[in-house]
Each structure stands twice: as C-alpha cells, then as structure tokens.
Structure 1
C-alpha cells in the first residue's frame, strides 16, 4: 500500500512540485479513479518507455534527469493496481491513442501492456472510437478520484498547461460524473476495446 506521502523518501523528491505532491497524496488515498485521455494512455497504464516518450512531449521543458524522475515515479504509482487495497480504475481513451506514436516498438509494447492490465479484476478499459464524433470528446483530460469516507463526493482534476487543475465542489464532481456517463455511452465495451487493441497490435507488428 502506498502511504499518503510515499514520494517524499524518493531520490527524486526534490523534482516534485507542491501541487503534484498533493495529487499523489490524494491518489494514494483514493479507492476509485476514473480517467479520460483523448490522445494517449493514462499514467497508471504506461510502460516506462511510453511514459518517457509522453513526458518528453509535454510543455514543461524537463531536463533528462527530470524526465527520468517523472517516468520512474509514474511507474511506482502503478502499485495501486496490484497492492491491497487495490484501486478500482475505470479508463476511457480516444482511438487516436492507437494511431499516434514516436516509436512503433514503444507503442506496440504499450498496447501489449494495456491488454494485460485490462484483465485485472479492478480495471475497466473502454476506447472511445473516432466514429463517436464530438459527443465522444471532452475539451481536456479528466480525472475523478473517489474516497472511502465520501463515496458520493470526490476530487476532480482537469488537464491544463503546466499540469492539472484540482476542483472539489459538488458541482464540479457532478459535472465530471455527467461527462463520464456521456463517454460511457459513446465508448466501446471492454470486450470490443480488447478486440480493437489486439487488431491494432497485429497491424503494427
């Protein structure tokens, strides 16, 4: 189990901003997480190579050491999926994630990893196809964290330049819930998502 401030003992702790440290603490305490990303797979599903590629493509202008630190911390966070109490993870990603790559070998290994993780009992994976059109798209990435002491509440994070913006009001949580309900209507089933992942893997390997 990851403690709330587990990252403070990490050798790269000095690279973590106060805002990101707050997010890591909330993530460690959460019991249920919903994620939406249009053009990539979220951090809890990334391989080390894919994580480095995604971080390097960001707007933060990180040094090589900072990139390596961010990727390593991202992989350590994935222990929430396999260590008790396991985080319940529900992911929605856009079909474009299967089409955009800096390196096809990295993308192929990433898809293999996602296929494996999608079989975990606590993980649900759904792809939003391009055919869903505008209803299947949100203006930014979206994360909703839920906690054991407030199952109807939560903490919402939206993507922004330079990081994420936290929102906790009941109104923001309800808006996030509606957004995820719309994505679910537009997305493929977990079974059809697995079929699409395997099909794309065959095409690029």
Structure 2
C-alpha cells in the first residue's frame, strides 16, 4: 500500500492528523511493525505519516483506521476530512524546488496561525519586510545564491505577507532590538523606506510593534531571535520556531513553548511601549534623511 510520492511541508492539520493516528495506534496496543504486517504498509511509511512528513492516501488511511478498530463513523469522517484539508498552500508549490524544506514548513505553519509573536535581534521580521530590504538581507545571507534563487526567496517572502492582508489576518506582535533599526541594510534609501513601512504597518489594529532600546541594557532576548505561533483550534498546540546558523528548529513540547512565551512577556515589559517605539522608529528615519541617505 503506497502513499502519494510527493512530500509536503507539515501543515497544522497534517500535524494534528499525525498525532491522532499515533494515539490511535498506541491505544490499540500496536507497534508500527505489527501495523505493517496487518496492512502491508511499510514501517518507514507509517513513521513518515505519524511524524507529519507525508499525507496518507485515502485507502491507506482507511486501512489504518480499520486496523485500529475505529468504527465510529463521525470519528472516521473527521479524520478523513482532516487528511483532505491537510494540503499545503497552493502558491507554495511553485517554490518547492527552490526553498529549503524547513523554510516551506515554517511558511505553511505561519499561514495557518492565529497569532505570531516574533522577537528579532538583527532583522526586520519577514512579514514586515519591504521588497528592497528583503532582497538585500537575502543576498547578504546567501552569498553564493544565484539571481534566480534570490528572486524566488524574495517573491516567497512577499507572498507570505498576504497573511496580514486577508479577511481574518494574523495578529502579529513584533519586538525588535534597537540594533535592527540602526543597521542600514542596503543603504539609507532602502532603510528609510523600510522603517517608514514599519510605521504604516503598526497603524493597523492587528499589528503591534515594540522596540528594545540600547539603554535597557542586557535583556532576555539577547541569546537570539524566535517566533511563537498560536493556532485557531485548541487541538493544535502552539509552536516555537528558531532560525540560526546551526539550522532551523521547531519546538512543540509544552515546557519549551511556555519558556519562550514567558521570555516574550519579559521582552514586552523591557521594550518601549508601542507609541514610544513608533517615535523611536520615526526618529531613526529622520536621522537617515538628515544624513542624506534618503530623499
């Protein structure tokens, strides 16, 4: 019994389906090897299903439910619907071969999030980057990338921002270290445009911006940037995402999520209030223009 060969980034619904199927198997007292013997599904394939690496075809899912003794029609229909809804974002398919696997995973989760809490120590958050700023940070971060690679990443980053413009937009709370404002990525003109875009974005009711000034001294965010994502359905636990030179990392253990959520609360208390933060951003725009960095 085979799966669709196409691997997809794990969406929120695919993650929930995987958790449900793991629970049903363990509840039935079966190992993956035993399920494989009874269904003909390869143990490696079962592992990939249970870790949200792939979405099972309908006949594969039905065989698993039969083996686990799931006879309740409402439960079966719920899981079948969950599998059907677990497909990735349509627009993301065009970039599958050009974007790293973990980045497409992040995009899939972000698109389904109810709220995103993002602390950044070095960059403007991706959801708020202008095209010019995005191009410069991507070029700098990937010095060996081709122009096509850069173009694909810029396009994907801008497409992500549709989550802020849809009918029921993501609620974004972004906290920036002051260093993010002072580093002139791409020069004065690009940076002034980017900072002005931040001011405009922060005027929207679903976006909150705060800045941690240098005068605050040492703070809880100094070890590095992170994102905490919450989802609309209580059945979907929150996720923490960390992007570093060592690689991308997703954390979903309750203790880890709670630790980063508390860190974010500390940063909220340390940062300037939203109104003062916008004034700090506008002051930096003024300094750039005074120096002749922007028209």
TM-score w.r.t. length of structure 2: 0.65
- Partner Cα separation in structure 2 for residue 4 and residue 154 of structure 1: 19
- Partner Cα separation in structure 2 for residue 151 and residue 194 of structure 1: 36
How far off its partner does 1:97 sit?
1.2
Matched ranges for 1:130-145 at <5 A: 130-145=214-229
2:284 is equivalent to residue 200 of structure 1 = yes
> Which residue of the other structure, out of 43, 47, 60, is the alignment partner of 2:130?
47
Q: Which residue in 1 is equivalent to 2:241? A: 157
* SS of residue paired to 2:222: coil
Q: Which has the higher strand share?
A: 1
- Partner Cα separation in structure 2 for residue 141 and residue 183 of structure 1: 12
How far off its partner does 1:98 sit?
1.5
How far off its partner does 1:4 sit?
3.7
Matched ranges for 1:169-180 at <5 A: 169-180=253-264
Q: Structure 1's 144 and 151: CA in aligned 2 closer, same or farther, altered over 3 A? A: farther
The range that moved more, 48-57 or 149-158, is 149-158
Q: Which residue in 2 is equivalent to 1:114? A: 198
- Partner Cα separation in structure 2 for residue 151 and residue 198 of structure 1: 41
Q: Is the 8 A contact 2:96 2:104 kept in 1?
A: no
> Which residue of the other structure, out of 153, 169, 174, is the alignment partner of 1:70?
153
Does 1 or 2 have the higher relative contact order (CA < 8 Å, sep 6+)?
1
Q: Is the 8 A contact 2:209 2:277 kept in 1?
A: yes
* SS of residue paired to 1:70: helix
Question: Size of the alignment, in residue pairs?
Answer: 202
Runs in 1 of length 4+ with deviation above 4 angstroms? Answer: none
- Partner Cα separation in structure 2 for residue 7 and residue 37 of structure 1: 26
User: Is the radius of gyration larger for structure 1 or structure 2?
Assistant: 2
2:116 is equivalent to residue 33 of structure 1 = yes
2:230 is equivalent to residue 146 of structure 1 = yes
Q: Is the 8 A contact 1:136 1:187 kept in 2?
A: no
Unaligned runs of 5+ in 2: 1-86, 290-295
- Partner Cα separation in structure 1 for residue 214 and residue 88 of structure 2: 38
Q: Which residue in 1 is equivalent to 2:170? A: 87
Unaligned runs of 5+ in 1: none
* SS of residue paired to 2:259: helix
How far off its partner does 1:40 sit?
1.9
Q: Structure 1's 104 and 66: CA in aligned 2 closer, same or farther, altered over 3 A? A: same
TM-score w.r.t. length of structure 1: 0.92
